[in-house]
């Protein structure tokens, strides 16, 4: 029997991912000075960017569940960051990430969300819908990452804040994590593009379709830089291993293996929750 289902994929952020951290790699001795020196605009926003209404609603749900003696559903946006860079054709891209931590005591099912990009005065610069989340099911204390690489209609030296709109609910599906091996972070010779190669194993005893693989890259301070990802388009038979290459859509040139201190990779079959 096959598990998983096909979904429609957007060009710049329509992936929907589930899973949990499966492995860790990288070299923690390296710093992130090249990113600090880059001419790319790097902008961080704080937890204040999360809407008060969203937090109030989440707190109310948690209080009600606690009074009933049920598992509490709660989360916090614990980090946001955007990197603006210009490509060889003059297009401005943004690589934007929001870290969400499960602060409750039950698994959370994370769905794709939205990013609002604001100027420093609070006015709207741009927005992005169907922002992918990695992984989609997280246990208490675990983190999920909303991430998108996309073209944005702003100047490359703009100062932007991210306002993430998170979709999270109590998980009713099982969290399935597949083993990863032979992981190596590399760059392509011609394009200098960073990517992750490795192999994923199906140890579930059932054939799987639509296996998702994502790898979060961290700097020497433990801050997330970007997410590399891919989808296996061929079925992964029970007991089989299959190679993969996970990439980003358009990462800044200064995100290289030298500035990545750690990476955490997750593999999982896509599952719907109704």
Segment 197-217 shows an average pLDDT of 95
Could you tell me which CATH number the domain at 40-170 has?
Answer: 2.60.40
Could you tell me which CATH number the domain at 2-35+178-269 has?
Answer: 2.60.40
pLDDT top residue among 211 and 254 = 211
Strands 180-187 and 160-170: unpaired
> Which residue, chain included where needed, has tokens 């420093």?
120
- Residue 17 scores a pLDDT above 60: no
The ranges assigned to domains in the chain are 2-35+178-269, 40-170
Is residue 72 very low, low, confident or very high in pLDDT (cuts 50, 70, 90)? confident
Residues 6+ positions from 68 with CB-CB distance below 8 Å: none
The answer to whether domain 2-35+178-269 and domain 40-170 are alike in fold is yes
With a pLDDT cut of 90, the percent of the chain lying above it is: 63
Q: pTM value?
A: 0.75
Torsion sign over Cα 241, 247, 253, 254: negative
Segment 201-211 shows an average pLDDT of 94
Condensed to tens digits (0 to 9), the pLDDT of residues 157-193 reads 999 999 999 999 999 999 999 999 999 999 887 777 8
């Amino acid at each position: 029997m096959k598990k998983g289902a096909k979904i429609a994929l957007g060009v710049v952020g329509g992936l929907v991912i589930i899973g949990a951290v499966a492995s860790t790699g990288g070299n923690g001795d390296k710093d992130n000075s090249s990113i600090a020196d880059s001419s790319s605009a790097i902008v961080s926003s704080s937890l204040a960017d999360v809407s008060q209404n969203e937090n109030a609603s989440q707190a109310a749900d948690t209080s009600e569940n606690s009074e009933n003696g049920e598992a509490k559903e709660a989360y916090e946006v614990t980090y946001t960051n955007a990197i603006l860079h210009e490509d060889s054709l003059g297009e401005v891209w943004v690589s934007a990430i929001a870290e969400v931590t499960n602060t409750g005591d039950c698994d959370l099912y994370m769905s794709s969300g939205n990013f609002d990009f604001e100027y420093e005065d609070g006015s709207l610069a741009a927005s992005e819908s169907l922002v992918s989340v990695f992984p989609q099911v997280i246990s208490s204390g675990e983190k999920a990452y909303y991430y998108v690489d996309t073209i944005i209609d702003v100047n490359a030296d703009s100062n932007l804040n991210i306002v993430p709109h998170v979709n999270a609910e109590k998980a009713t599906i099982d969290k399935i994590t597949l083993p990863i091996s032979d992981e190596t972070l590399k760059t392509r010779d011609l394009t200098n593009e960073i990517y992750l190669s490795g192999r994923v194993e199906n140890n579930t005893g059932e054939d799987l379709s639509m296996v998702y693989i994502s790898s979060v890259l961290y700097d020497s301070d433990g801050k997330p830089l970007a997410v590399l990802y891919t989808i296996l388009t061929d079925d992964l038979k029970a007991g089989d291993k299959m190679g993969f290459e996970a990439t980003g859509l358009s990462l800044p040139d200064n995100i290289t293996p030298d500035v990545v201190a750690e990476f955490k990779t997750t593999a999982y079959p896509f599952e719907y929750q109704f």
